[in-house]
Amino acid sequence: MDKNEGDDFLKEPLLQHSDSVTVTVYQDEVKKTRTIMFKIGNVKCASCVTSIESALGMVNGIRSIMVSVLQGQAVIKYAPDLINVKLIKEAIENLGFQVFEFPERDVAVCRLRVKGMTCTSCSESIENALLMVDGVKTAVVGLSLEEAKIHFDTTLTDSDELIQAIGDAGFEADLITTGNDGNKVHLCLEGITSNEDLTIIRSSLESVQGVNHVDMDTEANKVTILYDSEFTGPRSLIQCIQEAGQQPNFYHVSLYVSPSRREAESQHEILGYRNVFLWSCLFSVPVFIFSMVLPMVPPYGNWLSHKLYNMLTVGMILRWILCTPVQFIVGRRLFYVGSFYALKRRSANMDVLVALGTNAAYFYSLYILIKALCSNSFEGQDFFETSAMLITFILLGKYLEVVAKGKTSDALAKLTDLAPDTAFLLSFDGDGNIISENEISTSLIQKNDVIKIVPGAKVPVDGIVIKGQSHVNESMITGEARPMAKRPGDKVTGGAVNENGCLLVKVTHVGSETALSQIVQLVEAAQLNRAPVQKLADRVSRVFVPVVVVAAVLTWLCWFIPGEAAVYPKDWIPNAMDSFELALQFGISVLVVACPCALGLATPTAVMVATGKGASQGVLIKGGSALEKAHKVKIVVFDKTGTLTVGKPVVVNTMVFSDMPIQEFCEIAAAAEVNSEHPIAKAVVLHAKKLHQQYGLNSEHITEAEDFEVHPGSGVSGKVGDKMVFVGNKRLMAARNILLGTEVEDYMLESEQLARTCVLVAVDGRVAGALAVTDPVKPEAEQVISFLKSMNITSIMVTGDNWATATAIAKEVGIVKVFAETDPLGKADKIKELQLKGLAVAMVGDGINDSPALVAADVGMAIGAGTDVAIEAADIVLIKSNLEDVITAIDLSRKTLARIRLNYVWALGYNVLGMPIAAGILFPFTGIRLPPWLAGACMAASSISVVCSSLLLQSYKKPLHIEDTRGPVGYSNSV
């Protein structure tokens, strides 16, 4: 039984009626099938079952039907390319039966690469086109990222239809990933001689546990396998294919590593624009010389005025011949196709403006040429140079823009390239001795492999150190500049650099499951997330082009009608022009100077650079919305345990109240605590082991107590040697009638005032001593709170701990306002109370108990070392678990929003100033006018200025960087 059939078998009813009938429809070629299960009402007898199964069995696309009269349940296997679940439901309802618990939606996610977008009007048009596809739930298109993320119902549509919809809208699209893409491997096959070989390989792969999907490319002899890394891996799959071959047909398999599509496509686009620009220059520069340069330097330009027929000159013919390829060959790619599809979907973008402007100049010039050919007295000025130079300058702008936009994703590209290409795989014999060492591709690493990381090499995947010691530099992933010491049992992250020692690492995560892959996926998702401030550009872009067209027509009328009516002096009109031509030039200049692209790029380019920069600094920001909200934060609420404190209790003081040696005292306490799972018990045991090292003992073994017993909420007890030992709090001592002297009471009071937990140790009915345990405050906490205060941000602590401990910790770090003894829902309520005062609140936490508050806050920040639930609930993840990154997140948000506002000043200010100048507002007073080709250059410059402005965020530096000069928390011994 193969895996799919096994899954279907599990979905079948356990109790089947004896009269149940199975109708199976066989076809020559069975394509992919799906199975649905649902309830059918009013099924009363076997006759009902038979009628349903017989009717559905005749429907094309249904492979098998099974209906149980006892459970009223149906299991149907169908071909989604022939029929969808909606039609199946309608077919059953048409028979007079009701359908319940029907799986109406099977929502999947896919990401598509989209080419050809120029402004927010384009991205909006694509979104609208996708949302019109039946089954699409949501569609988000990122202009800067050039990607679309779509949630769709797989029962109604698929990725091919989505790509087709984008194609119909006038853009190109390619599939990047689908929602079920997990770990995937691409293999090249050799030795394939027939379709039977492919069938054998497919069957062999599908029989492997953990293989979820096999896709065969019969033309290229490639196979793509989607698998679960818990059960199998690429090397096991390659071995499976090789073993499937039998003499004389042996199959040879190799790993196929596809080139980076993002980088390849970016380079292809840059080269494409560069080549088209150079071709355009080849024709446009001579046009410019023939029309603007040579006529100014007689006698070198006199030959251009030579008349060929009537008033048609050599210069006119040359300009027309050279301009035409630029207008219709170069221009077809640049704006004709885009403007055609834009008008087809009843919208307008920059392509429409450029098409209108250049066509007006070209066809008016063509009219002048024809009139000169037909008349022996007509004198007119053509504008062929306007059309050609305008297109050339726009191409130059586009080329520079795509180069600059490529740099906005540099941080993300650096993250992607961190993992090395190869790794050293170790093989062991039965006794654990290394028998071989092979260098393999990183893509072939599987879970539980043991790999060797030599000094200076990068860690390929996530794992746990099993042998060796070294310092590992994780700065590119976490932003932490200092190398971190790694010993057996410590985790290492893919992409980190091993600095000195040699490490043997057992692999725990591969492929899309590694921390590096997760970070890249999160940043990519964030860059697709649209910031609320982007709505301004979206609203403006909807009306921008129509307003500009109307403004251009009004400009033409305002200059043409007064010119014909002699309202302004004739000497305002340049030589070889009339009022119509002057008005036309002003109108064209208005059309082409306006730039909706700059508005559309203002926000997404800044968000893209900021999220990438944040990731490299150890701050993962989940989208433009979180980035924007963070700059408004006025209150930061901190959890205590694991956020302001380290989250790992340690013994900081030992006091002995008897003549027992301190070493013996600690060993007795540890022996009683060694079998306890409580964090304080682990701190006591660790303290005893440190004492072993301090006194030069080689053994770290702790003797275990006999008759061990846990006293919930109080402590533990057990027999150590011939001594009865009780370790716990005051309540345990009282329950066992163990008296506490004045000295003990004073020590306990002193410990509580210092936010320490006092652990009492009684031996044979008398208190022998006590250990003060505390969760130490993070070294940077006090400075972070102080820096937040300087940013006019109030810090508050909320914790479930007691008031005494909470107050002491708050006092130590400089927090004035404290909420203690608060449960998880209470934390969320405190957040809401603060928000009712009209203040933006950020919550910083690490545990499951913080997740309600993280969701309730305007901005939730999760400590990276915290739980998955907290990280999922948060808007911002601090990878390093360092509190200084709270400041980094808020400051980066403020800098980014300031940059976005500056971008809008560039974009809006440019249009507000450029359009009146292009319309000729300065011409009556200064004689200055903006020729159309120069207006086109200005339009291109506006987009470049906005992208370059966003790129300045690459130079962002942290406002606070704390070097932790303190060593581990010390402890003193008082005897």
Rounded to whole angstroms, how far apart are CA atoms 345 and 329? 24
Query: Does residue 196 form part of some domain?
Result: yes
Residue type at position 532: P
445 and 410 together in one domain: no
Looking at residue 889, its pLDDT comes to: 92
Strand, helix or coil for residue 694: helix
Contact 279, 391 (CB under 8 A): no
Q: Identify the three-state secondary structure at position 422.
A: strand
Handedness of CA 944, 947, 951, 953 (dihedral sign): positive
Q: How many domains does the chain have?
A: 8
Closest C-alpha among 115, 114, 118 to residue 939: 118
Q: Determine the angle formed by the axes of helices 534-564 and 884-918, rounding to 10 degrees.
A: 10
Domain assignment of residue 21, yes or no? no
Assigned domain for 226 exists? yes
The pair of three-digit structure tokens given for residue 178, joined into one six-digit string = 């689908």
At 281, list the tokens: 């220059």
In a domain, 370, yes or no: yes
User: On the CB side of 711, how many CA atoms lie within 13 Å of its CA?
Assistant: 19
Q: Do 266 and 384 belong to one domain? A: yes
Helix (H, G, I), strand (E, B) or coil at 48: helix
Query: What are the residue ranges of helices labelled H in 631-728?
Result: 662-673, 679-694
3-state helix, strand, coil in the chain (%, to 5): 50, 20, 30
Final residue before a domain boundary, out of 178, 200, 232: 178
Do residue 637 and residue 784 come from a single domain?
A: yes
447's tokens: 């879970």
Q: Are 649 and 686 in contact (CB under 8 A)?
A: no
HEC assignment per residue over 902-930:
HHHHHHHHHHHHHHHHHCCCCHHHHCCCC
Same domain, 413 and 442: no
pTM equals: 0.66
Number of H helices, E strands in the chain: 32, 38
At 389, list the tokens. 């130079």
Measured distance between the N- and C-terminal CA atoms of the chain, rounded to whole angstroms? 72
pLDDT of the residue at 971: 34
CATH of the domain at 724: 3.40.1110.10
Same domain? 280 vs 192: no
In a domain, 17, yes or no: no
Helix (H) / strand (E) element for 401: namely: helix 384-408
3-state secondary structure (DSSP) of residue 332: helix
Minimal CA–CA distance to 100: which of 85, 110, 89?
A: 89
DSSP state of 458: B
Same domain, 306 and 321: yes
Tell me how far apart the alpha carbons of residues 357 and 585 are, in angstroms, rounded to a whole number: 9
Shared domain check, 346 and 287: yes
Identify the helix (H) or strand (E) that includes residue 40.
strand 34-40
Quick one: pLDDT at residue 769?
92
Other CB atoms within 10 A of residue 250 CB: 11
pLDDT at 872: 67
Q: Tell me the two tokens of residue 677.
A: 């799972």
Tell me: do 759 and 821 sit in the same domain: no
Q: Which residue in 803, 861, 855, 851 sits closest to 832, CA to CA? A: 855
Backbone angles phi, psi at 171, to 5 degrees: -125, 160
Out of 140, 163, 178, pick the residue that ends a domain.
178
Residue 441 lies in a domain: yes
In a 3-state reduction of DSSP, which class is residue 73? strand
147/272 same-domain check: no
Is residue 516 within 8 Å of residue 495, measured between CB atoms?
yes
509, 526, 543 - which closes a domain: 526
Which of 788, 779, 786 minimizes the C-alpha distance to 886?
A: 788
CA distance 534 to 540: 10
> ∠ CA(569), CA(572), CA(575), 5° rounding?
120
The residue type found at 601 is: L
Secondary structure (DSSP) of 819-870: E-S--HHHHHHHHHHHHTTT-EEEEEE-SGGGHHHHHHSSEEEEETTS-HHH
Q: In what order do the strands lie in the sheet with 706-711?
A: 706-711, 715-720, 723-728, 757-763, 766-774, 650-656, 972-974
Write out the H or E segment, with its range, that includes residue 116: none
Neighbours of 836 (CB within 10 A): 7
Q: Can you say whether the dihedral through the CA atoms of 886, 887, 890, 895 is positive or negative?
A: negative
Where does residue 105 rank: exposed (0-12), middle (13-18), buried (19+ CB within 10 A)? middle
DSSP 524-557: HHHHHSPPTTHHHHHHHHHHHHHHHHHHHHHHHH
Provide the residue range defining the domain that includes 407. 262-417
**Rounded Cα–Cα distance for residues 250 and 244 (Å):** 8
Question: Rounded to the nearest 5 degrees, what angle is found at the Cα of 378, between the Cα atoms of 374 and 384?
Answer: 85
Q: Are 12 and 76 in contact (CB under 8 A)?
A: no
Count CB-CB contacts under 10 A for residue 259.
Answer: 8
Average pLDDT along the chain, 975 residues, taken 10 residues at a time: 41 36 34 69 73 81 77 76 78 79 65 80 84 86 81 79 88 76 77 79 83 78 81 85 72 73 73 90 90 80 85 90 92 80 75 81 86 79 80 81 69 71 87 85 88 90 90 69 79 85 90 77 67 70 81 91 87 78 85 75 82 84 82 91 82 88 88 81 86 68 82 84 88 88 88 82 91 87 92 90 80 90 82 90 79 85 64 77 89 92 84 87 85 76 83 86 46 35
> Angle at Cα 206 formed by Cα 203 and Cα 208, nearest 5°?
115
Position 790 scores a pLDDT of 92
116: left (phi over 0), alpha (psi -120 to 50) or beta: left
Q: Which long-range contacts (CB under 8 A, 24 or more apart) does 953-958 make?
A: 953/606, 953/609, 953/610, 953/613, 953/895, 953/896, 953/899, 954/407, 954/410, 954/411, 954/609, 954/613, 956/610, 956/613, 956/617, 956/892, 956/895, 958/617, 958/884, 958/887, 958/888, 958/891
Residues 6+ apart with CB under 8 A from 953: 606, 609, 610, 613, 895, 896, 899
| CATH number, residue 137 | 3.30.70.100
Residue 331 structure tokens: 């221009």
- Residue 357 included in any domain: yes
Residue 22 within a domain: no
Q: Do residue 726 and residue 796 come from a single domain? A: no
* Residue 330 DSSP symbol: I
CATH number at residue 512: 2.70.150.10
Pairing mode, strands 757-763 and 766-774: antiparallel
Q: Are residues 916 and 875 in the same domain?
A: no
The confidence score (pLDDT) of residue 21 equals: 33
Whole-angstrom CA distances from 753 to 301, 942, 968 are 96, 63, 22
Q: Which run of H or of E encompasses 136?
A: strand 136-142
- DSSP class of residue 477 equals H
| CATH code of 880's domain | 3.40.50.1000
Closest CA relative to residue 247, chosen from 191, 198, 187, 208: 191
**DSSP-derived secondary structure letter, 84:** -
Q: Are residues 288 and 323 in the same domain?
A: yes
